[in-house]
Amino acid sequence: MREARAAKLGHCRLVTTVGDMHKPKQTLESSAILSGSAFGCPRQFLGNRFVYAVISSRARGLSIGVNMNPDKLCNFDCEYCEVNRIAPSLEKDLDLAVITEELQRTLELAHSGELKRIHYYRHLPPDLLQLRHVALSGDGEPTLCHQFLDVVREVIHLRALSHFPFFKIVLITNAAGLDAPQVLEGLNLFTHKDEIWAKLDAGSQQHMDSVNHPRGCKLEKILENILLVARQRPVIIQSLFPLLHDEEPAAEDIDQYAMRLRHLKKAGAQIPLVQIYSATRPTARSGCRHLPLKALSLIARRVREISGLATEVF
């Protein structure tokens, strides 16, 4: 079996691994050579208040994001979170008109090629500058945003105007609020091309507590919410495994996590892919580092063995 192809290039460690078909999916090594540390770099707001651009390995290129939580509201406090919650928020509320205007402007930058003129993107290869999706994400948990449905409607309306080529919408969530009525209503507006990427970092409450520090949210609830939505439409699972205080996750924790995935699948969850990765961007806390690639590959193998799901390591 070809386990993984990895490239460690400057600061950028980039991997493509196998799915359950045991075939490499796509090699990004050539892009990585040119992009250097682009995947580990922070979001660029380009003068905007709510809309940003980021080069994302999991998106395989340019992701334009809407910061759904400028107030930094989240019910997790992940060890690896990049958001500095000590610094006060610059924005408290979303402004739909401004979001639409900024999204439009950023889409124009991406499609016109103007983005390449910005020094940050100047040396990136064209494939990394191709727009892969518009993400509903941000400095907190998007499903907790009380304007979630309004934002979804606004983005879908902009897409329907067809001023730009069709873009996929991706909701990036910790799954805690996936069962909220306005979130379910918003997801009903998604097309089959739009995606949900749901976080699942642990298979036991104890492990989840040590990595995600959830507030008022239990692992069982996260699993219920993923199942609720994944019975209706495919959900991509995102799992981040950090090296915490120089310790790799225990084998028992990994097996419990893989068993949870197996149960989800058996209960009818449609999970086309499990993305396995580690902390790459600077985190707000110290003590959290990138897990060695070999460890990530072993986790992916365990997931495939136990759950039979396709995995990719980043």
Binding site for ligand SF4 (CB under 6 A): 74, 76-78, 81, 83, 140-141, 174
Whole-number Å distance between alpha carbons of 296 and 314: 8
Instruction: Please list, residue by residue across 100-129, b when 16 or more beta carbons sit within 10 angstroms of its beta carbon and e when fewer do.
Output: bbbbeebbebbeeeebbeeeebeebbeebb
C-beta of 92: minimal distance to ligand SF4 in Å? 17
Which C-beta is closer to ligand SF4: that of 83 or that of 96? 83
Which C-beta is closer to ligand SF4: that of 80 or that of 167? 80
C-beta of 259: minimal distance to ligand SF4 in Å? 23
Which C-beta is closer to ligand SF4: that of 45 or that of 164? 45
Which C-beta is closer to ligand SF4: that of 109 or that of 172? 172
77 and 212 Cβ atoms separated by less than 8 Å: yes
Which C-beta is closer to ligand SF4: that of 5 or that of 85? 85
